[in-house]
Amino acid sequence: MKSLKEKILKEGVAIGTEIVKVDHFLNHRLDVKFLEEVGAEFKKRFKDDEINKILTVEASGIAVASLTAPYFDYAPVVFAKKAAPNTMTEGFYVAEAKSFTKGTVSLLRVSERFLKEGDKVLIIDDFLAHGQASLALADLVEQAGGKVVGVGAVIEKGFQGGSERLRAKGYRVESLAVIDNIEEGRIIFK
């Protein structure tokens, strides 16, 4: 997605060799008009697929998923939670997601009421890095007996191997911008 790459180059900041900071439009401040274009692009990539649910994880995935849903006939969005809230009194599916950047392991949870057998799920996230969050989300879908139609990431850090891990498990991956490398503060796309 050309406009996304231009935006990353214009507004993104490379930190060290592994981190791209895009908090001007994606992770802290949200450019909603632009994220609608991102949603339209996901629709273009998955236009022939039957999708009845969009799954993401709090927090940064929520805006992207919410602004993508209108293009998929307002498919319900479900966001996995990283902590068990006091209102989550019933059963839930749970999967582990390791964060390499933070050095922590999160437990992602979705209520059993919101993922069902036969669901055709598009997984959406802001970043695809090592792929741990997406693998955990796919695990939740499959625990429920649903099918992962694909994984859509706004930005993929290609050098961290997430898409290879997902494809090795048979999942289709569509990343709207793939960063190949970060060299001396420069972001280099594939």
- The yes or no reply on residue 10 touching its own copies (CB under 8 A) is no
> Segment contacting its own copies (CB under 8 A): 57-65, 128-136, 151-159, 177-185?
57-65
Three-state secondary-structure class, residue 23? coil
* 8 A C-beta contact, residue 113 and residue 88: no
- The yes or no reply on residue 177 touching its own copies (CB under 8 A) is no
Would you state the structure tokens that stand for residue 104, as one six-digit string? 């922590």
Query: Which DSSP letter does residue 126 get?
Result: E
> Segment contacting its own copies (CB under 8 A): 71-79, 136-144, 147-155, 156-164?
71-79
- CA atoms of 41 and 116, how far apart (whole Å): 27
- The yes or no reply on residue 142 touching its own copies (CB under 8 A) is no
- The yes or no reply on residue 11 touching its own copies (CB under 8 A) is no
Within positions 80 to 119, which residues make up the interface with its own copies, using CB under 8 A? 81, 85-89, 101-102, 110-111, 113-114
**2 Cβ neighbours under 8 A, 6+ residues apart:** none
- The yes or no reply on residue 23 touching its own copies (CB under 8 A) is yes
Selected binder of its own copies within 9, 32, 105, 168 (CB under 8 A):
32
- The yes or no reply on residue 63 touching its own copies (CB under 8 A) is yes
> Segment contacting its own copies (CB under 8 A): 43-51, 68-76, 147-155, 170-178?
68-76
As a residue count, the chain comes to 190
Give the phi and the psi of residue 80 in degrees, each rounded to 5: -70, 145
Would you state the structure tokens that stand for residue 134, as one six-digit string? 């997406």
- The yes or no reply on residue 143 touching its own copies (CB under 8 A) is no
CA end-to-end span of the chain, whole Å? Answer: 12
- CA atoms of 16 and 186, how far apart (whole Å): 10
Q: Which residues bind its own copies (CB under 8 A)?
A: 15, 19, 21, 23-24, 27-33, 35-36, 58-59, 62-63, 65-67, 69-70, 74, 76-79, 81, 85-89, 101-102, 110-111, 113-114
